[in-house]
Amino acid sequence: MSDGTNEYARPGAEELDADPRAVEEVVTSQEPAGTAESMEQLRKALDESRQDAAEHQEKFLRVRADMENYKKRIERTYADRAHSSKKELLQNLLSVKDNLERALHYAGSSEAEGEGLMEGVRLTQYQPEQMLQKEGVEPIEAEGQPFDPRLEEAIQSVNDPSVDDHTVVKVVRTGYTYADEVLRPAQVVVSVHGGES
Q: Given a cut of 80, is residue 157 above it in pLDDT? A: yes
Is residue 172 domain-resident? yes
Is a pLDDT exceeding 60 seen at residue 65? yes
Q: Does some domain include residue 182?
A: yes
Average predicted confidence (pLDDT) for the chain: 80
In a domain, 124, yes or no: no
Amino acid of residue 100: L
Asked whether the predicted pLDDT for residue 149 surpasses 90, the reply is: yes
Q: What is the pLDDT of residue 193?
A: 84
Identify the residue with better confidence: 140 or 13: 140
Q: Is residue 14 part of a domain?
A: no
Residue ranges making up the domain that contains 190:
138-197
- Checking if the pLDDT of 38 tops 90, the result is no
Whether pTM > 0.75 for this model: the answer is no
- Is 70 among the domain residues? no
CATH number at residue 144: 2.30.22.10
What is the number of domains present in the chain? 1
Q: Is the pLDDT of residue 160 over 80?
A: yes
In a domain, 143, yes or no: yes
- Residue 126: per-residue pLDDT: 81
Torsion sign, CA atoms 102, 104, 105, 110 = positive
Task: Tell whether 194 is covered by a domain.
Answer: yes
- Report the distance separating Cα 89 and Cα 82, nearest Å: 11
Mean pLDDT for the stretch of residues 49-66 = 92
Residue 144 located in a structural domain: yes
Q: At 120, is the pLDDT very low, low, confident or very high (cuts 50, 70, 90)? A: confident
pLDDT of residue 20: 53
